[in-house]
């Protein structure tokens, strides 16, 4: 095949990343600490809100793991988790020997359903165990129903671990995603809206909590000249090299959000009038998605039997990557034995949904290759 590959979401450098990395080499800060780590954290804090404290970590998964540790999750505890998500949202529950309790999504944001969540909370409490935390996800950059979910979290006094790995640059009622939970999680993996090649962050609302996170992320060393430990530690700090990439990426984050949103607008103009195809879009102006990935749902009853798989294979034949939506956790072999609350919404999204190429680095030529596959599918 001689047509170059069009990816779902690939790294897009802004230009100054190498300069920050070079500074790290020049000063010999080739370690999981240094000026780029501090600088990247400051950039993120300034971007997100006035009152947040960010700890840069080696991955978003590490941030979820540490977040659960900081929320006091212990072996045997229960943790509520949006089922429709990437496995990294749920795996750290298992790392801690806790039990995931999965919850269905609602149709507007595809994120955790307030009704199913309340049903789950009440039922777990009636069975004698109050869940320790709620992991809510802003899927594909779409904010979850923040007001409704926060109301439940406050009513039942269960903290939210806000998985904002896909939603840096998104906001709800003008407030940035990542800042709503007791703790927030960001990811800078290679496919995310900005990347440090690999990395993540924990967003806290007090300096003390951030410092505790950094302490645990650097092997929980007590203040002593020798190595002294009173707690279990982790090696989860971000490298100063990777943080240099992050500082360069922060300079172009807003521009990249606009470019991702342009891809979403492109799909709307191509597909909005097509019967049987729904382009995943904000339900109201309260929601502002970075549209990290543009996604659609196909109803084969209205497309003469053409399914999302028909379209996926048509893209594949043209060397264009597309991908089914996340397979819900309660349907995964490793997680299917755990309790699940809700109906079939997440399962149906998985069955009929497709993520489309969404990178901020796609060109007009890429868009016309994509458009010709879509045109063929429509006819
Ligand atoms: C990417 C992602 C993570 C994990 O982040 P890593 O940096 O890859 O460990 C967690 N949750 C969601 C929803 C993600 O998309």
Active site residue 301: no
Measured from the Cβ of residue 282, the count of other Cβ atoms closer than 10 Å reads 18
Residue tagged active-site, from 145, 192, 210, 212:
192
Q: What is the pTM of this model?
A: 0.97
Judge if 194 and 280 occupy the same domain: no
Expressed in angstroms and rounded, the spacing between residue 61 Cα and the centre of ligand 1 is 6
Expressed in angstroms and rounded, the spacing between residue 64 Cα and the centre of ligand 1 is 9
* pLDDT tens digits for range 72-89: 999 999 999 999 999 999
Q: Average per-residue pLDDT in the chain?
A: 97
**Domain final residue, candidates 252, 283, 310:** 252
Helical axes 146-156 vs 114-126, angle rounded to 10°: 10
Judge if 199 and 138 occupy the same domain: yes
Alpha carbon nearest to ligand 1 atom 5, residue: 60
Expressed in angstroms and rounded, the spacing between residue 187 Cα and the centre of ligand 1 is 6
Q: Mean pLDDT, to the nearest integer, of 306-311?
A: 97
What is the extent of the structural domain holding 123?
A: 17-252
Judge if 186 and 261 occupy the same domain: no
The answer for residues whose C-beta is within 8 angstroms of residue 54's C-beta and 6 or more apart is: 41, 44, 45, 48, 186, 201, 202, 203, 204, 210
Q: Would you say residue 8 lies in a domain?
A: no
**Domain final residue, candidates 252, 280, 311:** 252
**What atom of ligand 1 comes closest to residue 61's alpha carbon?**
9
Q: Would you say residue 120 lies in a domain?
A: yes
pLDDT for residue 328 is more than 60:
yes
Q: What is the CATH number of the domain that holds 300?
A: 3.90.1150.10
Judge if 279 and 318 occupy the same domain: yes
Judge if 277 and 230 occupy the same domain: no
Q: Mean pLDDT, to the nearest integer, of 189-198?
A: 96
SS3 50: coil
According to DSSP, the residues that pair with 163 across neighbouring strands are: 137, 185
Q: Would you say residue 9 lies in a domain?
A: no
Q: Tell me if 162 CB under 6 Å of ligand 1.
A: no
Q: Would you say residue 307 lies in a domain?
A: yes
Judge if 213 and 266 occupy the same domain: no
Q: So what's the pLDDT on residue 253?
A: 97
- The pick from 55, 60, 200, 217 for probing ligand 1's pocket by mutation, whose C-beta has the most ligand atoms within 8 angstroms, reads 60
Judge if 239 and 343 occupy the same domain: no
Judge if 359 and 259 occupy the same domain: yes
Judge if 236 and 361 occupy the same domain: no
Q: Mean pLDDT, to the nearest integer, of 155-180?
A: 98
Q: Would you say residue 78 lies in a domain?
A: yes
C-beta of residue 297 within 8 angstroms of C-beta of residue 306? no
- Nearest residue to 44 (alpha-carbon basis) of 141, 190, 176: 176
Q: Would you say residue 1 lies in a domain?
A: no
Q: Tell me if 189 CB under 6 Å of ligand 1.
A: yes
**Domain final residue, candidates 252, 269, 301:** 252
Per-residue confidence at 255, pLDDT binned at 50, 70, 90? very high
Question: Into how many domains does the chain fold?
Answer: 2
Judge if 46 and 174 occupy the same domain: yes
Distance between CA 345 and CA 178 in Å, rounded? 25
Expressed in angstroms and rounded, the spacing between residue 124 Cα and the centre of ligand 1 is 27
Q: Would you say residue 137 lies in a domain?
A: yes
pLDDT for residue 207 is more than 80:
yes
Judge if 183 and 54 occupy the same domain: yes
Judge if 168 and 95 occupy the same domain: yes
- The pick from 55, 56, 59, 86 for probing ligand 1's pocket by mutation, whose C-beta has the most ligand atoms within 8 angstroms, reads 86
Q: What is the CATH number of the domain that holds 51?
A: 3.40.640.10
Q: Would you say residue 3 lies in a domain?
A: no
Share of the chain above pLDDT 70, in %: 99
Q: So what's the pLDDT on residue 1?
A: 52
Q: Tell me if 57 CB under 6 Å of ligand 1.
A: no
Distance between CA 118 and CA 294 in Å, rounded? 29
Q: Mean pLDDT, to the nearest integer, of 358-363?
A: 96
* pLDDT tens digits for range 171-187: 999 999 999 999 999 99
């Amino acid at each position: 095949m001689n047509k170059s590959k069009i990816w779902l979401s690939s790294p897009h450098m802004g230009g100054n990343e190498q300069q920050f990395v070079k500074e790290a080499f020049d000063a010999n800060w080739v370690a999981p600490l240094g000026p780029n780590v501090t600088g990247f954290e400051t950039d993120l804090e300034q971007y997100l809100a006035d009152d947040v404290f960010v700890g840069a970590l080696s991955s978003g998964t590490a941030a979820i793991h540490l977040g659960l540790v900081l929320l006091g999750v212990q072996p045997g505890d229960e943790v509520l988790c949006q089922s429709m998500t990437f496995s990294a949202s749920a795996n750290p529950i298992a790392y801690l020997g806790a039990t995931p309790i999965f919850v269905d999504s609602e149709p507007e944001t595809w994120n955790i359903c307030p009704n199913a969540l309340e049903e789950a909370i009440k039922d777990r409490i009636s069975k004698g165990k109050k869940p320790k935390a709620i992991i809510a996800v802003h899927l594909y950059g779409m904010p979850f129903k923040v007001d409704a979910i926060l109301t439940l979290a406050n009513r039942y006094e269960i903290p939210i671990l806000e998985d904002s790995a896909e939603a840096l640059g998104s906001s709800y009622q003008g407030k940035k995603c990542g800042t709503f939970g007791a703790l927030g999680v960001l990811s800078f993996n290679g496919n995310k809206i900005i990347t440090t090649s690999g990395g993540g962050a924990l967003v806290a609302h007090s300096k003390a909590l951030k410092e505790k996170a950094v302490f645990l992320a650097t092997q929980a060393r007590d203040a002593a000249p020798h190595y002294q430990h009173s707690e279990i530690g982790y090696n989860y700090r971000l490298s100063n090299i990777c943080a240099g990439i992050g500082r360069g990426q922060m300079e172009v984050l807003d521009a990249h959000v606009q470019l991702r949103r342009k891809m979403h607008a492109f799909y709307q103009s191509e597909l909005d009038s097509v019967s049987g195809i729904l382009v995943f879009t904000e339900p109201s102006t309260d929601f502002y998605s970075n549209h990290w990935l543009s996604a659609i749902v196909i109803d084969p009853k209205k497309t003469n039997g053409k399914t999302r798989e028909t379209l996926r294979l048509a893209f594949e034949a043209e060397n264009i990557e597309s991908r089914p939506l996340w397979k819900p956790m309660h349907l995964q072999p490793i997680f299917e034995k755990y309790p699940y609350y809700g109906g079939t919404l997440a399962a149906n999204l998985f069955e009929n949904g497709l993520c489309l190429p969404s990178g901020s680095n796609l060109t007009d030529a890429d868009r016309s290759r994509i458009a010709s596959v879509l045109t063929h599918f429509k006819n």
